[in-house]
């Protein structure tokens, strides 16, 4: 009877959960219970205080160095680690005599189990699983250090400013100067492009001429060395500010499919940043994947590219890049892929009368792993025969995406479904139906639709529909309040006393991140964005815009964004893990195995969840949800 | 409470203890009266019984845990099971989950885990050795002490002389000092669960003598620290 609970407690803690009953019982029998009020201090060493502690309740911080004499001191102290419920501490001092003592400070009243070091050491000798864990974790610790060093190195590149990259000299010539003179200046400056001041009849002031343009001119008969250089120029200039992130420079190059950006400063132009130089800095596959998309000519090629994008995700994540940025890059690449596919499959004569929308998580640029696809096609001024041709090509489009590795949408929100392949007028009627006859499904469709972005074709079509949506919302203010309700429909998985609420599945404490954390933020922000008639789709951008408009306070907006980032990172990590265990894309779920998290991660999770809880309260007040629930 | 009342109580209990000591039949248990108590050490204990009447009902299981400083020495806990002649009533089985079968299946003198199965007098003997001259801590301790005395009195001629600390009383005083009450005395809920909840002590185990003793010990430690800090 007596030690059952101790035994059950140990059973929840890795690596002790690997021990058999007998081993657990013998450890459980040697546990004492210790109580510490808040602000108490204690130490663990290899002498008199040789114990390993397990946290039953409370919160313990490990001090980075000597026990400070008084409390005032501790406020400025840095903590080495934090320990919350079900974590253990002191094992390092016990295992490694050279380390000296470990010092702890009780942050929140704590009740601990205490195991004598001798019992711990004996168990370590006797049970291989324990020995492996604690020896391996030493290596792991080193690895973690290494990883964090690597992470800084590569994030630095990503997050470095443009001016830290090699910037090629700026050559600027007047539009009226001859091709030959321009070429001479480029050679002199060892640059392969020049900025051209355009004559007044052009709509832009500046254009660019590159060595490729010169080659083309040389090959054609229209131009001779005495031609005015502006006739060759391309515009508008795509530029990047010298203090912008390199990452954004890469995105711009990707989006505009160009080889170089003009770098500008506050005082004018500075020079060129070429794709080649940029790739040299990144030295990873993001550029490669991009080039592959450009070269791809068949579905099989796209399939290879999609796999490379996946590898890229794993790599970037491992390097510690924020999920938000990974998502941005991946979505850019995916869109590029869709664009290419559209050009391949759509009847050529109809391509300028359609718009392909990506919606839902893809529209928000928040999909990192290809868990599903939500897309639609809008067309205008198309006759019946052409509609049939479009629908046929869209069926091929969906089939192709599935083959490439985008699992089909379970709700059939795909271009192959005639409901999501309609004329502008058709969509207008559809929108009206969703408003006039609100159903759960209608709400969901509207939510997905509001997150839409154009991946190919006419952006004006979506704009027209969005305006209709806003005017409908304006006419029907009650609608949003009902629409917002679902942000509160799932409980935040955090208990009254601040602990994590988990479901126990096959012996693992699990928690649904999507329902409990991500969805309330995404949907709540979506509702606020609709009300503010924002055109942004990405949740982070919406939050930023809401902060600018004063709907969210600066401080809370930042907190909300960071919480979302953290949830997405955990979700990605958990999905990547599941994938590494052989789970298919379509079968990836959103449950998070809490036991696989370190105590620090668990703590952060709790904090982030409390932000969700606060956001829900804000929504409740803002939309007066208690009246409509 | 008035100071002089406490003093009077002290004098009375010293006198009673002296008188008790003279009646002790077995000198082997003199340590209960004369033994050295370690500083800052207490014994927390709880028993499960066949019913709620100390005159008729018997102890089924008894757990005692030593508290030293801020430590609850569960690894050295005393856990005793006492086989019954009469069957244990159904109502009490529901409460403490010790079935008749549990007592019968465990043979006398058997030691499984850290639970000893002993006949009543031997069990209480082990308990007396365990508590020595240390103060006793419990929740509604009076009942548990009465249950032990029911064995000790006819056997040794005395009752437990140890100082008693009632956690519900400590809790009551603590709450009273927190609540700024006027003439009307506040209504303070003294249910075990309420105390645990209000003191934010996690309920670690199921309802058995050991867990109850452990939880009581934690209540005691928390209240002690509250008194120290105020």
User: In this predicted structure, what is the pLDDT of residue B132?
Assistant: 93
Residue A97 pLDDT level (bands cut at 50, 70, 90): low
User: Using a CB-CB distance cutoff of 8 angstroms, which residues of chain A are in contact with residue B75?
Assistant: 29-32
ipTM above 0.90, yes or no: no
Q: Which of B199, B191, B139 is nearest to B175 (CA)?
A: B199
pLDDT for A146: 42
Tokens standing for residue A231: 């006739």
Question: Which chain A residues are within 8 Å of B76, Cβ to Cβ?
Answer: 32
Q: Is residue A397 part of a domain?
A: yes
In the structure, what pLDDT confidence band is assigned to residue A36 with cuts at 50, 70 and 90?
Answer: very high
Name the 3-class secondary structure at A107: strand
Q: Specify whether the CB–CB gap between A211 and A186 falls below 8 A.
A: yes
DSSP, collapsed to helix, strand or coil, labels residue A518 as helix
The answer to whether the CB of A230 falls within 8 A of the CB of A213 is: no
Q: Does A189 touch chain B (CB under 8 A)?
A: no
CA distance A616 to B76: 49
Q: Does A598 touch chain B (CB under 8 A)?
A: no
**Domain-terminating residue out of A475, A498, A531:** A475
Share of chain B above pLDDT 90, in %: 41
DSSP A582-615: T--GGG---EEEGGGS-HHHHHHHHHHHHHHHHH
**A436: which 2 tokens?**
């006039």
> Using one digit for the tens of pLDDT, what is the confidence trace for A340-356?
888 888 888 888 889 99
Residues 318-357, chain A: which have Cβ within 8 Å of B? none
**What is the CATH classification number for the domain harbouring A349?**
1.10.357
Residue with tokens 């007066």: A624
Give me the domain span that covers residue A411: 285-475
Whether B63 and A2 lie within 8 Å, measured CB to CB: yes
Under a CB-based contact definition with an 8 Å cutoff, are residues B167 and B138 in contact? yes
Residue of A366, A369, A368, A344 whose CA lies nearest to A356: A344
pLDDT at A458: 86
Of the candidates B115, B38, B109, the one whose C-alpha atom is nearest the C-alpha of residue B78 is B115
The verdict on A55 and A123 lying in the same domain is yes
**Alpha carbon distance B132, B135 (integer Å):** 9
Residue A482 lies in a domain: no
Cβ of A35 within 8 Å of Cβ of B70? The answer is: yes
State what percent of residues in chain A have pLDDT above 90: 17
A148 and A180 both lie in a single domain = no
- A356 near A415, Cβ under 8 Å? yes
Q: Is the peptide bond before A15 cis (omega within 30 degrees of 0)?
A: yes
CB contact A48 to B (< 8 Å): no
CB contact (8 A) between residue A29 and residue B75: yes
Residues of chain B with CATH 3.30.420.10: 19-165
Q: Cα(A367)–Cα(A365) distance, rounded to whole angstroms?
A: 6
pLDDT of residue B36: 84
Asked if A37 reaches chain B (Cβ–Cβ under 8 Å), the answer is yes
Of A393, A395, A389, the residue nearest A408 (C-alpha) = A395
- Angle of helix B141-156 relative to helix B120-131, nearest 10 degrees, comes to 110
Q: How confident is the model at residue A521 (pLDDT cuts 50, 70, 90)?
A: very high
Q: What whole-number distance in Å separates Cα of residue A137 and Cα of residue A130?
A: 10
A110 and A232 housed in the same domain: no
In-domain check, residue A196: yes
**CA-based Rg of chain B, rounded to a whole angstrom?**
18
Model confidence at A10, pLDDT cuts 50, 70, 90, reads: confident
What is the torsional sign of CA A582, A583, A584, A588?
negative
Confidence band, pLDDT 50/70/90 cuts, at residue A152: very low
Task: For residue A202, report the phi and psi dihedrals to the nearest 5 degrees.
Answer: -85, 155
- Find the helix or strand (DSSP H, E) in which A32 lies: strand A32-36
Half-sphere exposure of A14 (CA within 13 A, CB side): 14
CB contact under 8 A, B225 and A37: yes
Domain edge (last residue) among A138, A155, A172: A155
Q: In angstroms, how far is CA B171 from the centroid of its own chain? A: 16
Apex CA B59: angle with CA B54 and CA B61, to 5°? Answer: 145
**Has residue B100 got a pLDDT over 80?**
no
Residues shown for chain B: 230
Is residue B37 exposed (0-12), middle (13-18) or buried (19+ Cβ within 10 Å)?
A: middle
Flag whether pLDDT at A154 surpasses 50: no
Q: Which two tokens stand for residue A120?
A: 């711990």
DSSP 8-state secondary structure symbol assigned to residue A111: E
Same domain, yes or no: A277 and A296: no
pLDDT at B179: 77
pLDDT 10s digits, A392-437: 889 999 999 988 888 888 888 888 888 899 999 999 999 888 888 8
Residues A254 and A318 in one domain: no
DSSP calls for A314-359: HHHHHTT--HHHHHHHHHHHHHHHHHHHHHHHS-GGGGGGEEEEE-
Least confident of A260-264, A536-540, B174-178: B174-178
Which of A2, A27, A30 is the mutation pick for testing B, counting most B CBs within 10 A?
A2
Question: A26 and chain B: CB distance < 8 Å anywhere?
Answer: no
Say yes or no for a CB contact (<8 Å) between B202 and A111: yes
A148-159: average pLDDT: 47
Which residue matches tokens 């050279």?
A: A98
Number of domains present in the structure of chain A: 4
Q: Which of A136-145, A197-206, A496-505, B35-44 has the lowest mean pLDDT?
A: A136-145
Lowest mean pLDDT among A128-137, A270-279, A453-462, A497-506: A497-506
Q: B113–A25: do the CB atoms touch at under 8 Å?
A: yes
CATH superfamily of the B19-165 domain: Ribonuclease H-like superfamily/Ribonuclease H (3.30.420.10)
**Among A243-247, A282-286, B156-160, which is the least confidently predicted range?**
A282-286
HSE-CB at B130 with a 13 A cutoff on CA atoms is 22
Whether B110 shows a pLDDT value over 90: the answer reads no
- Rounded to 5°, the CA angle A330-A424-A395 comes to 55
On the question of pLDDT at A545 being above 60, the answer is yes
A189 and A169 in contact (C-beta within 8 Å)?
yes
Summarize pLDDT for A451-492 with one digit per residue, the tens: 999 988 888 899 999 999 999 888 888 888 888 888 888 888
Closest CA to A595 of A460, A500, A456: A500
**What pLDDT is recorded for position A496?**
60
Segment holding B154, helix H or strand E:
helix B141-156
The CA distance from A472 to A479, in Å, is 9
In 3D, which of A339, A370, A143 has the Cα closest to residue A255? A339
Q: How many residues does chain A have?
A: 629
pLDDT score, position A566: 84
d(CA B84, CA B103) in angstroms, rounded, equals: 8
Rounded Cα distance between A187 and A171, Å, is 10
Q: Cβ separation of A35 and B206 shorter than 8 Å?
A: no
Kindly state the helix (H) or strand (E) to which residue A52 belongs, with its residue range: strand A51-63
Which range (A11-20, A104-113, A355-364, B208-217) has the least confidence? A11-20
Question: CA-to-CA distance for A562 and A564, rounded, in angstroms?
Answer: 5
pLDDT at position B56 is: 85
Is residue B134 over pLDDT 90?
Answer: yes
My answer on whether A419 and A333 are in the same domain is: yes
> From the list B72, B115, B229, which residue is nearest A2 (CB)?
B115
- One domain for residues A210 and A295: no
Nearest residue to A349 (alpha-carbon basis) of A385, A402, A303: A385
Task: Report how far residue B185's alpha carbon sits from residue A565's, in angstroms, rounded to the nearest whole number.
Answer: 52
A512 within a domain of the structure (yes/no): yes
> Is A39 an 8 Å CB contact of chain B?
no
Q: Do B113 and A6 touch (CB under 8 A)?
A: no
Residues of chain B that touch chain A, judged by Cβ-Cβ distance less than 8 Å:
61, 63, 70-77, 79, 98, 113-115, 200-202, 204-206, 208-211, 214, 217-218, 221-222, 225, 229
Chosen domain end from A282, A309, A328: A282
pLDDT digits (tens, 9 = 90+) for A579-626: 777 777 667 777 788 777 777 777 778 888 888 999 999 999 998 887
């Amino acid at each position: 009877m007596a030690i059952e609970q101790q035994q059950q407690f140990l059973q929840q803690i890795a690596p002790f959960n690997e021990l058999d009953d007998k081993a657990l019982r013998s450890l459980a029998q040697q546990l004492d219970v210790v109580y510490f009020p808040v602000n108490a201090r204690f130490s663990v060493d290899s002498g008199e205080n040789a114990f390993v502690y397990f946290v039953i309740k409370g919160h313990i911080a490990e001090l980075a160095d000597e026990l400070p004499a008084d409390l005032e001191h501790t406020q400025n102290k840095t903590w080495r680690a934090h320990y919350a419920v079900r974590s253990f501490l002191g094992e390092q001092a016990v295992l490694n005599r050279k380390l000296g003592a470990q010092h702890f400070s009780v942050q929140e009243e704590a009740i601990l189990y205490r195991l004598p070091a001798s019992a711990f050491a004996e168990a370590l000798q006797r049970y291989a699983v324990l020995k492996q864990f604690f020896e391996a974790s030493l290596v792991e610790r080193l690895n973690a250090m290494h990883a964090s060093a690597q992470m800084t190195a590569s994030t630095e590149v990503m997050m470095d400013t443009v001016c830290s990259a090699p910037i090629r000299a700026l050559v600027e010539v007047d539009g009226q100067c001859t091709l030959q003179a321009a070429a001479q200046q480029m050679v002199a400056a060892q640059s392969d492009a020049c900025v051209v001041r355009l004559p007044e009849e052009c709509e832009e002031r500046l254009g660019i001429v590159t060595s490729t343009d010169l080659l083309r001119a040389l090959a054609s008969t229209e131009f001779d060395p005495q031609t005015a250089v502006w006739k060759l120029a391309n515009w508008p200039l795509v530029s990047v500010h010298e203090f912008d992130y390199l990452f954004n420079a890469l995105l711009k190059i990707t989006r505009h499919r160009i080889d170089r950006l003009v770098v500008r400063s506050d005082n004018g132009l500075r020079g060129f940043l070429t794709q080649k130089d940029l790739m040299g800095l990144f030295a990873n596959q993001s550029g490669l994947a991009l080039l592959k998309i450009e070269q791809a000519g068949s579905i099989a090629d796209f399939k290879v590219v999609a796999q490379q994008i996946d590898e890229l995700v794993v790599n970037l994540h491992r390097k510690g890049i924020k999920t938000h940025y990974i998502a941005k890059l991946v979505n850019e690449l995916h869109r590029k892929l869709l664009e290419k596919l559209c050009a391949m499959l759509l009847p050529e004569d109809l391509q300028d009368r359609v718009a392909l929308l990506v919606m839902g998580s893809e529209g928000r640029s928040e999909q990192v792993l290809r868990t599903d696809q939500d897309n639609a096609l809008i067309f205008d001024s198309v006759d019946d025969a052409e509609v049939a041709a479009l629908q046929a090509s869209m069926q091929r489009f969906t089939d192709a995406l599935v083959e490439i590795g985008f699992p089909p949408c379970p709700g059939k929100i795909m271009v192959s479904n005639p409901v999501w392949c309609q004329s502008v007028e058709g969509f207008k009627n559809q929108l009206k139906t969703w408003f006039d006859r609100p159903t759960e499904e209608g709400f969901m469709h509207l939510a997905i639709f509001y997150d839409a972005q154009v991946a190919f074709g006419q952006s004006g079509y979506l704009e027209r529909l969005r305006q209709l949506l806003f005017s409908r919302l304006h006419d029907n203010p009650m609608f949003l309040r009902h629409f917002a309700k679902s942000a509160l429909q799932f409980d935040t998985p955090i208990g009254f006393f601040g602990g994590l609420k988990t479901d126990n599945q096959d012996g693992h404490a699990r928690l649904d991140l999507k329902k409990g954390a991500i969805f309330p933020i995404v949907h709540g922000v979506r509702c606020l964005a609709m009300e503010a008639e924002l055109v942004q789709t990405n949740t982070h951008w919406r939050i930023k815009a809401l902060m600018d408009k004063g709907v969210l306070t600066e401080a809370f907006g930042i907190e909300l964004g960071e919480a979302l980032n953290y949830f997405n990172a955990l979700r990605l990590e958990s999905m990547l893990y599941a994938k590494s265990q052989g789970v298919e894309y379509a079968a990836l779920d959103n449950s998070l195995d809490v036991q696989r998290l370190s105590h620090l991660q668990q703590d952060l999770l709790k904090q982030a969840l409390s932000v969700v809880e606060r956001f829900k309260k804000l929504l409740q007040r803002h939309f007066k949800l208690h009246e409509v629930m | 409470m008035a100071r002089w009342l406490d003093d009077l109580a002290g004098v009375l209990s010293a006198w009673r203890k002296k008188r008790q000591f003279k009646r002790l039949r077995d000198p082997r248990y003199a340590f209960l009266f004369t033994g050295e108590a370690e500083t800052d050490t207490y014994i927390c204990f709880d028993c499960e019984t066949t019913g709620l009447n100390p005159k008729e009902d018997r102890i089924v299981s008894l757990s005692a845990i030593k508290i030293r400083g801020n430590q609850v020495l569960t690894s050295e806990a005393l856990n005793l099971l006492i086989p019954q002649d009469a069957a244990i009533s159904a109502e009490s089985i529901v409460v403490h989950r010790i079935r008749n079968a549990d007592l019968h299946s465990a043979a006398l003198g058997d030691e499984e885990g850290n639970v000893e199965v002993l006949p009543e007098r031997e069990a209480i003997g082990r308990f007396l050795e365990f508590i020595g001259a240390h103060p006793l801590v419990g929740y509604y301790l009076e009942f548990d002490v009465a249950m032990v005395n029911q064995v000790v009195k006819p056997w040794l001629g005395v009752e437990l002389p140890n100082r008693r600390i009632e956690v519900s009383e400590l809790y009551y005083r603590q709450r009273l000092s927190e609540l700024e009450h006027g003439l009307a005395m506040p209504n303070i809920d003294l249910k075990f669960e309420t105390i645990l909840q209000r003191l934010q002590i996690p309920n670690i185990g199921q309802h058995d003598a050991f867990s109850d003793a452990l939880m009581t010990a934690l209540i005691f430690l928390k209240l002690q620290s509250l008194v120290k800090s105020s």
